[in-house]
Amino acid sequence: MKHAEALALAEEALNALKPHCERILIAGSIRRLKPEVKDIEICAIPRMVPAGLFNDELEVDPDFCAVVRHWRKVKGEPTGKYTQRILPGCMTLDLFIVEPDSWGWQLCLRTGSSGFNQYVLLKAVRQQRYTSDGGFLQRPGQVIPTPEEVDVFRLLKLPWCEPWAREV
């Protein structure tokens, strides 16, 4: 699909989810401004609401889940870390449900490109003796918070790279 058409679909999905999110952003090839787009990738931190018998637990906002479940399911649930849905217009949505402390790392990975991830980000992860596990950058026994993309580049000792320049 052409970038402009995919962006319009992605923005519709984003706008439907946004009232139920702490943070949400379009990632992938749309964010990299590619002229052709094969799927839509969105990173979201859904709002958490009180739940449980005494409201002493938190769960993903049911309204967020309702919006996601309105789209045809391919796999995953909106209460997990990932769900794939089919949007109106038959475009695939890869929705990544992210925690605040992993936002930067997940946004980097989900923006791509796959070559940039493999030959730049993951190479730097190994060089700096980090691992990527459970959606987080880690060192043995320690989760490294990356609330912003700039934190990832700083930790990996990489110069900042705009999303549209992340091609290898």
Task: Encode pLDDT of 34-48 as tens digits.
Answer: 999 999 999 999 999
Count Cβ atoms within 10 A of the Cβ of residue 139 and give its class: 0-12 exposed, 13-18 middle, 19 or more buried: exposed
Nearest to 142 by CA among 155, 154, 153: 155
**19 in the Ramachandran plot: left (φ > 0), alpha (ψ -120 to 50) or beta?**
alpha
Which of 17-31, 53-67, 101-115 shows the lowest mean pLDDT across its residues? 53-67
Q: Given pLDDT bands bounded at 50, 70 and 90, which one contains residue 89?
A: confident
Q: Given pLDDT bands bounded at 50, 70 and 90, which one contains residue 54?
A: confident
Question: Do 93 and 104 sit in the same domain of this protein?
Answer: no
Question: Do 9 and 90 sit in the same domain of this protein?
Answer: yes
Question: Do 54 and 70 sit in the same domain of this protein?
Answer: yes
**pLDDT at position 56, please?**
84
Look-up: residue for tokens 């005494």?
A: 54
Question: Do 83 and 140 sit in the same domain of this protein?
Answer: no
Give, in degrees to the nearest 5, the angle at Cα 10 between 4 and 15: 125
Six-digit token string for 129: 């003796």
Question: Do 29 and 107 sit in the same domain of this protein?
Answer: no
Question: Do 91 and 31 sit in the same domain of this protein?
Answer: yes
Question: Do 7 and 89 sit in the same domain of this protein?
Answer: yes
Which of 3-12, 95-104, 132-141, 143-152 shows the lowest mean pLDDT across its residues? 132-141
Q: What is the dihedral of CA 148, 152, 157, 159, to 10 degrees?
A: -60
CATH number at 116 reads 3.30.210.10
Q: How far is CA 93 from the centre of its chain?
A: 11
Q: How many residues belong to the chain? A: 168
Mean pLDDT rounded to a whole number for the chain: 96
- The tens digit of pLDDT for each residue in 110-164 reads 999 999 999 999 999 999 999 999 899 999 889 999 999 999 999 999 999 999 9
**pLDDT at position 48, please?**
96
Percent of the chain with pLDDT over 90: 91
In the predicted structure, residue 57 carries a pLDDT above the cut 90: no
**pLDDT at position 64, please?**
98
Q: State how far the Cα of 102 lies from the Cα of 124, in Å rounded to an integer.
A: 17
In the predicted structure, residue 4 carries a pLDDT above the cut 90: yes
Mean pLDDT across 17-29: 98
* Domain housing 64: 3-97
The DSSP string of the chain is -BHHHHHHHHHHHHHHHGGGEEEEEE-HHHHTT-SB-S-EEEEEEE-EEEESTTS-EEEE-HHHHHHHHHSEEEEE-TTSSEEEEEETTTEEEEEEE--GGGHHHHHHHHH--HHHIIIIIHHHHHHTT-EEETTEEEETTEEE---SHHHHHHHTT-----GGG---
Q: Rounded to two decimals, what is the model's pTM? A: 0.95
Q: Could you give the number of structural domains in the chain?
A: 2
